[in-house]
Amino acid sequence: MSLIYFTPGPAQLYPSFESHVKDFVDQQLGSISHRSAQYRAIHQFTVEQLRALLQVPDTHQILFLGSASEIWERIVFSCVELESFHLVNGSFSLKFADYAHALNKYAHKYEKPMGQGFVASEIVVPEYAELIGVTHNETSSGVQMPVNEIHKLKTGNPNKFMAVDMVSSAPYPELDYSLIENAFFSVQKAFGLPAGLGVWIVSEKCLERAQQIKNTFSIGAHNDLPTLWKNALNHETPATPNVMGIYLLGKVAQEMNGIGVNNIRKETEAKAQKLYKFIEKYQGLSPFVKEKKFQSQTVVVANTEGASSDLIKALKAKNMIVGSGYGKFKDSQIRIANFPATSMEQVDQLIEAITAL
Amino acid sequence: MSLIYFTPGPAQLYPSFESHVKDFVDQQLGSISHRSAQYRAIHQFTVEQLRALLQVPDTHQILFLGSASEIWERIVFSCVELESFHLVNGSFSLKFADYAHALNKYAHKYEKPMGQGFVASEIVVPEYAELIGVTHNETSSGVQMPVNEIHKLKTGNPNKFMAVDMVSSAPYPELDYSLIENAFFSVQKAFGLPAGLGVWIVSEKCLERAQQIKNTFSIGAHNDLPTLWKNALNHETPATPNVMGIYLLGKVAQEMNGIGVNNIRKETEAKAQKLYKFIEKYQGLSPFVKEKKFQSQTVVVANTEGASSDLIKALKAKNMIVGSGYGKFKDSQIRIANFPATSMEQVDQLIEAITAL
């Protein structure tokens, strides 16, 4: 009996995942050289599909790393000589700041409690901060920062680099890459693939900056931006990459392009609206994020009246897996992923299953 | 028609690879949380199988990272405050030294041309070097450093940390982990799996050293050793790992334990002997590595009389893929991987195919 995963990552796999894996195995792609024309064609295909899907201009490269966490580190190495600034309202935005600190940068933070969001007008960016770290979607709390607020933050601070964590929301946010120098995600969330691959969309301005910083400070040795960039021009990676992950991502992005990213965004909003409406009305659940504009469209977090573990268990008995709350909210919240891999019908099934408990 | 890959990585996949992938997909393991008991059981199983296979004592942790290249960086961060020392006789041993340099360490090198090997008695380790980087098997040139020479190097320099690159040889080298603090490999070589996972075997002495260095220098932010270690005690990783890779590695290691690592080592030597004997006798091929004790048992490199691309093409027409030479030897050498995934029968087939050309 197969389970439906509503967990916010690793998550439900994309419906066609199994057939793409079969093709990968049948074509023996696990054995091909990462310096062969055959590999370069796969790499280039995936980059082109992502470029079309996310409307990434030629000023930006699309790079493959091991995970989004690795990308936090590479962004700090590449864009920050001394000081960074982070909007922190959950565990993952905090970890980005912690990474900067661990690399001996001064990591300024503007903090809010979990469940609250940010607007541009309230934010004062420290004068010497070189980078603004923004989390479009806090996977831990289900708070999103509206894309227009992210853009406003940049237009108010044009000389700072932006880094947008869209780990658990891409391809949903429609970012304007003429404003955003860095954005990144990992494939085990909304792309519905097994974990083990992070994607970094990065501007040539960061490349120039990394080359400058390198004159004074180390910018890292593994997957440093200039080496990644140089290899990407040849549709390669510096070290042997996760070829299977890159292949599968290209196939899923191609299907998403077939559906159309705007249709995926509308479908995401329609499913989210249904989930929030249900949570608001249903006795025993209430939305954790109170302000509508901050309510994540891709990770819906609800307070539970009783222990959330009871609800999770009851749903598991019906072959549906929802996520527990994060950290101190582990047993008082549930998290429901609303990624493209789950359909409106499956959302309906989940709502019916909870209602029938 | 399926191809036989004799390439030194990515390489021929382990014969049971396909059935393990099928199990992974059928069990929906791509969707499970990396903080769940189900994941921890997989993680623990793989560590236990590797521990048995490679005879790793409890003083050492077995850690999962994105690639062996990433592990170079993490070893330098963790074991080197100021100076490292590297035996360099090929492209990969040089890259390890380059990584140390890129992290602003002073990377001493003792260099020999490609094709030549090292013995302990000739090596003078610089007084202030904290780490000795040794490549058990140079994938680029097919030179191995005999394990007893690696051990002698340590006993002659007991206060230096050792780091043994066994990327393209594990599980072949029988390392004594009472002498070796660091060893590492990636799964797309002798374990016959798709790329995207590196394994770091590391001693508690390195953990202590990393904690000391952290007081003065950054030891990195992503996958820093203390955080990796702490998570490993709980059978987890700091970030979402390549769960599929870890699962598959556990299954292959389990099968290798079933065969017995000593049987695998003997089989490897028997196949290597057959290959070297053939190359020595066959008109048109000659071993690149002249000294027997330095001839790799897992990556056999031969000079070709004519252009190696002609030979590679002719073999491809017979559904056999051998590797080209590395770097400047690209068109004057072939590299033949001799990993557990290729059988004695397949080695015979390759020899017959070349003979019949």
Residue pair B82/B130 in contact (Cβ under 8 Å)? The answer is yes
Nearby residues of B44 by Cβ (< 8 Å), 6 or more positions away: B235
Q: What is the ipTM of this complex?
A: 0.97
Amino acid present at A297: Q
Give strand pairing partners of B138. Answer: B143
Amino acid present at A53: L
- Strands A182-186, A161-165: pairing is parallel
Q: What angle do CA A153, A154, A158 make, to 5 degrees?
A: 130
How much of chain A exceeds pLDDT 90, in percent? 99
Note the CATH architecture for domain B17-258. 3-Layer(aba) Sandwich (3.40)
Helical segments of chain B, H only: 17-26, 37-54, 68-79, 91-102, 147-156, 204-213, 225-233, 243-259, 261-281, 308-316, 344-355
Note the CATH architecture for domain A4-12+260-355. Alpha-Beta Complex (3.90)
Contact at CB, A32 and B10, closer than 8 angstroms: yes
Of A12, A238, A243, the CB nearest to B194: A243
For residues A300-313, average pLDDT: 97
Provide the sign of the torsion angle of the four alpha carbons A116, A121, A123, A125, taken in this order: positive
Of B7, B12, B104, the CB nearest to A218: B104
For residues A326-350, average pLDDT: 97
Write down how long chain B is.
Answer: 357
Q: Which residue of A has its CA nearest to B76?
A: A221
pLDDT band at B180 (very low <50, low <70, confident <90, very high): very high
Longest dimension (CA), chain A: 64
Helical segments of chain A, H only: 17-26, 37-54, 68-79, 91-102, 147-156, 204-213, 225-233, 243-259, 261-281, 308-316, 344-355
Nearby residues of A212 by Cβ (< 8 Å), 6 or more positions away: none
Nearby residues of A50 by Cβ (< 8 Å), 6 or more positions away: A56, A62, A199, A249, A250, A253
pLDDT tens digits along B200-259 = 999 999 999 999 999 999 999 999 999 999 999 999 999 999 999 999 999 999 999 999
Q: CB count, 10 Å around CB of A58?
A: 7
Residue pair B46/B193 in contact (Cβ under 8 Å)? The answer is no
Mutate to test the interface with B, among A22, A24, A31 (most CBs of B within 10 A): A31
Residue pair A89/A135 in contact (Cβ under 8 Å)? The answer is yes
- What tokens does B129 get? 């070097």
Nearby residues of A281 by Cβ (< 8 Å), 6 or more positions away: none
Tell me the DSSP string of B154-205. Answer: HHHSTTSEEEEE-TTTTTSS---TTT-SEEEEETTSTT---S--EEEEEEHH
CA distance A226 to A217: 14
For residue B4, which residues of chain A lie inside 8 Å, CB to CB? none
Nearby residues of A76 by Cβ (< 8 Å), 6 or more positions away: A84, A99, A100, A103, A105, A131, B221
Residue A146 has a pLDDT of 98
Of B28, B194, B243, the CB nearest to A195: B243
Tell me the DSSP string of A269-294. Answer: HHHHHHHHHHHHHSTTEEES--SGGG
Tell me the DSSP string of A68-129. Answer: HHHHHHHHHHHH-SSEEEEEESSHHHHHHHHHHHHTT-EEEEEE--TT----GGG----TT-
| Residue from A240, A253, A51 nearest B242 by CA | A240
Residue that has been written with the tokens 């549930």 in this structure: A334
User: Looking at the predicted structure, is the pLDDT value of residue B1 above 90?
Assistant: no
pLDDT tens digits along A161-175 = 999 999 999 999 999
Give strand pairing partners of B61. Answer: B202
CA distance B2 to B185: 27
User: Looking at the predicted structure, is the pLDDT value of residue A1 above 80?
Assistant: no
pLDDT tens digits along B286-344 = 999 999 999 999 999 999 999 999 999 999 999 999 999 999 999 999 999 999 999 99
How much of chain A exceeds pLDDT 70, in percent? 100
Q: CB count, 10 Å around CB of B300?
A: 27
| Residue from A207, A158, A209 nearest A179 by CA | A158
For residue B240, which residues of chain A lie inside 8 Å, CB to CB? 9-10, 67, 69, 186, 188, 195
Amino acid present at A168: S
Q: Which residue of B has its CA nearest to A25?
A: B18
| Residue from A180, A185, A225 nearest A77 by CA | A225
Of A68, A76, A243, the CB nearest to B195: A243
Longest dimension (CA), chain B: 64
Q: Which residue of B has its CA nearest to A19?
A: B25
Q: Where are the domains of chain A?
A: 4-12+260-355, 17-258
> CA dihedral defined by B348, B351, B355, B356, rounded to 10 degrees?
60
DSSP reduced 3-state for B323: strand
User: Looking at the predicted structure, is the pLDDT value of residue A343 above 80?
Assistant: yes
pLDDT tens digits along A15-32 = 999 999 999 999 999 999
Q: Which residue of A has its CA nearest to B194?
A: A30
CA distance B185 to B56: 14
- Strands B333-337, B320-324: pairing is antiparallel
Contact at CB, B99 and A222, closer than 8 angstroms: yes
pLDDT tens digits along A227-282 = 999 999 999 999 999 999 999 999 999 999 999 999 999 999 999 999 999 999 99
How much of chain B exceeds pLDDT 70, in percent? 100
- Strands B299-304, B285-287: pairing is antiparallel
C-alpha to C-alpha distances, B7 to A168, B11, B72, B199, B319, nearest whole angstrom: 37, 5, 23, 21, 13
Between chain A and chain B, the number of residue pairs with CB atoms below 8 A apart is 181
CA distance A26 to A30: 10
Specify burial of residue A67 (Cβ count, 10 A radius: 0-12, 13-18, 19+).
buried
| Residue from B76, B97, B77 nearest B88 by CA | B97
Of A7, A32, A67, the CB nearest to B31: A7
Q: Which residue of B has its CA nearest to A5?
A: B31
Residue pair B90/B135 in contact (Cβ under 8 Å)? The answer is yes
